C-alpha cells in the first residue's frame, strides 16, 4: 500500500522536507493502523518542519503531532477496524511518526475513541491546541470548585490570536467570563471580539518588566507565552486567583518573586497536554461540544494541504497565523 506523507530528513547540517509517496512498511511503530482524515498545525509542528526543532532525534521522520481518522487495522483489543479515533500528544510527530500522512501506525494507548457528537474535522479544529486550551479552562473552573471562594469573573488570555489562545477566548466567553485578550495584532481586535473577548490588551503593555505585585485586575489567566508577559500577568492576578501556564512562545524564562503566591495566594498551574492521562483526555473530548461553539470557531479556520505545509508552515513561528489551521492530508 502506497500513500502520501511529509518526510523530513537531516544529513549533517542539511535539512529537507517534502511530500513523498511511501510504502506501509515504512511505518515502524505501534499496533493500530489509522487512515487519517485530518491533522492540524500547531506551534511545535512549525518548529519541527523548520529544522527538527531539536525535538526529532531520528531521521527520516514523519512529522505532525495530532490527527483524527478511522482504524484500518488493529492488533489491539481496545480498537477494531472502523473505529473513529483521535490522537494528540505522547510525542507523536517527534519521536514517533506523526499525522502529516494519509496513514499512521501508533500504540493503542495513544488513541482516544471519538465521541459521537464529533467528527474528524471538528476534532482537528480543536486538535492539540484546543485540547490544551480546554485543560486551561478547566483549571480556571477548578479554582472556583477547590477554593469555594467568590466566583471568577475577569480572565486574561495571552497570545489570544493563536491556536490555544483563540479557543480559550471562545470557551471562557461561552462560560460567561469577562475575557481580556492580549495581542500584538491590532488588525485582529474585531476577530477576538467575535470570539467573545470584552477587552483587547496591547501586547506591548504586558511585555515589560513587572512589579512583584501590581494592581489586581484578573481572577484568572490563561498564559501561552511565558517570559515577561507571564510575570506581568502574575503581578496583576487578584487574591486567590489562578494562572494556567501552557506555553513559551515569548520565552521559557520566568522572572518573579514569591510575593504573588504568599501574599495573594495566587496559584500557578502548569498545563501539560502531551502526557495527560487517558481518562482526562476522554473526558475533555466528551465535553468539547459543551465548551466550544464550533460554528463560531470554524469561521476563523484555514484548511491546508500537505503541500501547503511545506510552503507555509513557518508562518506560525512568525505570528502570521491567527486561529486554527487544519490539514486535509488527502487533499
State the chain's mean pLDDT as an integer. 93
- The separation between CA 130 and the C-alpha centre of its own chain, rounded to angstroms, equals 5
Distance CA 326, CA 40 (A): 4
For residue 94, with 0-12 CB atoms within 10 Å meaning exposed, 13-18 middle and 19 or more buried, which class applies? buried
User: Greater confidence, 233 or 147?
Assistant: 233
pLDDT the model gives residue 152: 83
pLDDT the model gives residue 302: 94
Are 156 and 265 in the same domain?
Answer: yes
What is the tens place of the pLDDT at every residue in 256-295? 999 999 999 999 999 999 999 989 999 999 999 999 999 9
In a domain, 227, yes or no: yes
**Is the pTM above the cut of 0.85?**
yes
In a domain, 291, yes or no: no
Are 138 and 266 in the same domain?
Answer: yes
In a domain, 288, yes or no: no
Distance CA 63, CA 46 (A): 10
pLDDT the model gives residue 148: 61
Are 253 and 313 in the same domain?
Answer: no
Q: How confident is the model at residue 147 (pLDDT cuts 50, 70, 90)?
A: low
Q: List the CATH number of the domain containing 163.
A: 3.40.50.720
* Residue 12 zone, left/alpha/beta (φ > 0; ψ -120 to 50; rest): left
pLDDT the model gives residue 208: 92
In a domain, 119, yes or no: no
Are 305 and 225 in the same domain?
Answer: no
In a domain, 7, yes or no: yes
Distance CA 288, CA 167 (A): 11
Q: What whole-number percentage of the chain has pLDDT above 90?
A: 85
Are 89 and 206 in the same domain?
Answer: no
Q: How confident is the model at residue 142 (pLDDT cuts 50, 70, 90)?
A: confident
The answer, yes or no, to whether residue 151 has pLDDT greater than 90, is: no
Domain count, the chain: 2
Q: List the CATH number of the domain containing 36.
A: 3.90.180.10
Whose cell is 491546508? That residue is 304
What is the tens place of the pLDDT at every residue in 182-204? 999 888 999 999 999 999 999 99
In a domain, 123, yes or no: no
Are 48 and 87 in the same domain?
Answer: yes
Are 109 and 135 in the same domain?
Answer: no
Q: Tell me which H or E stretch contains 165.
A: helix 163-174
Mean pLDDT value across residues 39-54: 92
The answer, yes or no, to whether residue 12 has pLDDT greater than 80, is: yes
User: Greater confidence, 29 or 78?
Assistant: 78
Domain ends where: 251, 270, 289? 270
The three-state secondary structure class of 273 is: coil
Helical pair 120-147 and 278-286, crossing angle rounded to 10 deg: 100
The residue count of the chain comes to 331
Are 87 and 137 in the same domain?
Answer: no
Q: Pick from 212, 225, 251, 242: which is nearest to 165 by CA?
A: 225
Distance CA 241, CA 261 (A): 10
What is the tens place of the pLDDT at every residue in 199-225? 999 999 999 999 999 999 999 999 999
In a domain, 296, yes or no: no
Are 164 and 74 in the same domain?
Answer: no
Are 236 and 307 in the same domain?
Answer: no
Q: Tell me which H or E stretch contains 64.
A: none
What is the tens place of the pLDDT at every residue in 286-308? 999 999 999 999 988 999 999 99
The residues near 162 (Cβ < 8 Å, ≥ 6 apart) are 43, 129, 224, 249, 321, 322
pLDDT the model gives residue 262: 96
Range of the domain at 318: 2-114+301-328
Distance CA 104, CA 88 (A): 13
pLDDT the model gives residue 323: 85
The three cell numbers of residue 209 are 518588566
The three-state secondary structure class of 130 is: helix
Are 165 and 140 in the same domain?
Answer: yes
Pairing of strands 267-270, 237-245: parallel
Are 137 and 90 in the same domain?
Answer: no
The residues near 148 (Cβ < 8 Å, ≥ 6 apart) are none
The angle subtended at Cα 127 by Cα 126 and Cα 129, nearest 5°, is 85
Amino acid at each position: 500500500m502506497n500513500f502520501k506523507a511529509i518526510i523530513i530528513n537531516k544529513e549533517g547540517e542539511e535539512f529537507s522536507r517534502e511530500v513523498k509517496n511511501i510504502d506501509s512498511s515504512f511505518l515502524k511503530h505501534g499496533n493500530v493502523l489509522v487512515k487519517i482524515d485530518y491533522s492540524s498545525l500547531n506551534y511545535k509542528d512549525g518548529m519541527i518542519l523548520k529544522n527538527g526543532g531539536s525535538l526529532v532525534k531520528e531521521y527520516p521522520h514523519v512529522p505532525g503531532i495530532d490527527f483524527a481518522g478511522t482504524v484500518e487495522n488493529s492488533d489491539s483489543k481496545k480498537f477494531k477496524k472502523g473505529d473513529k479515533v483521535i490522537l494528540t500528544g505522547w510525542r507523536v510527530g517527534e519521536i514517533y511518526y506523526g499525522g502529516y500522512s494519509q496513514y499512521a501506525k501508533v500504540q493503542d494507548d495513544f488513541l482516544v475513541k471519538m465521541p459521537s457528537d464529533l467528527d474528524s474535522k471538528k476534532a482537528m479544529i480543536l486538535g492539540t491546541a484546543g485540547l490544551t486550551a480546554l485543560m486551561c479552562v478547566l483549571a480556571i473552573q477548578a479554582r472556583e470548585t477547590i477554593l469555594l471562594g467568590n466566583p471568577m469573573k475577569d480572565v486574561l488570555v495571552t497570545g489570544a490570536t493563536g491556536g490555544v489562545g483563540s479557543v480559550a477566548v471562545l470557551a471562557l466567553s461561552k462560560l460567561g467570563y469577562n475575557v481580556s485578550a492580549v495581542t500584538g495584532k491590532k488588525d485582529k481586535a474585531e476577530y477576538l471580539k467575535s470570539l467573545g473577548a470584552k477587552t483587547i490588551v496591547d501586547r506591548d503593555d504586558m511585555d515589560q518588566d513587572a512589579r512583584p505585585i501590581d494592581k489586581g485586575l484578573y481572577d484568572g489567566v490563561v498564559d501561552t507565552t511565558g517570559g515577561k508577559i507571564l510575570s506581568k500577568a502574575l503581578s496583576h492576578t487578584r487574591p486567590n486567583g489562578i494562572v494556567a501556564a501552557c506555553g513559551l512562545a515569548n520565552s521559557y524564562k520566568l522572572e518573579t518573586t514569591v510575593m504573588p503566591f504568599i501574599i495573594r495566594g495566587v496559584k500557578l498551574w502548569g498545563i501539560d497536554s502531551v502526557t495527560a492521562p487517558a481518562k482526562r483526555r476522554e473526558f475533555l473530548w466528551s465535553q468539547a461540544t459543551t465548551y466550544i461553539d464550533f460554528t463560531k470557531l470554524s469561521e476563523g479556520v484555514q484548511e491546508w494541504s500537505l503541500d501547503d505545509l511545506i510552503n507555509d508552515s513557518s508562518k506560525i513561528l512568525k505570528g502570521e497565523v491567527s486561529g486554527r489551521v487544519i490539514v486535509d492530508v488527502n487533499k
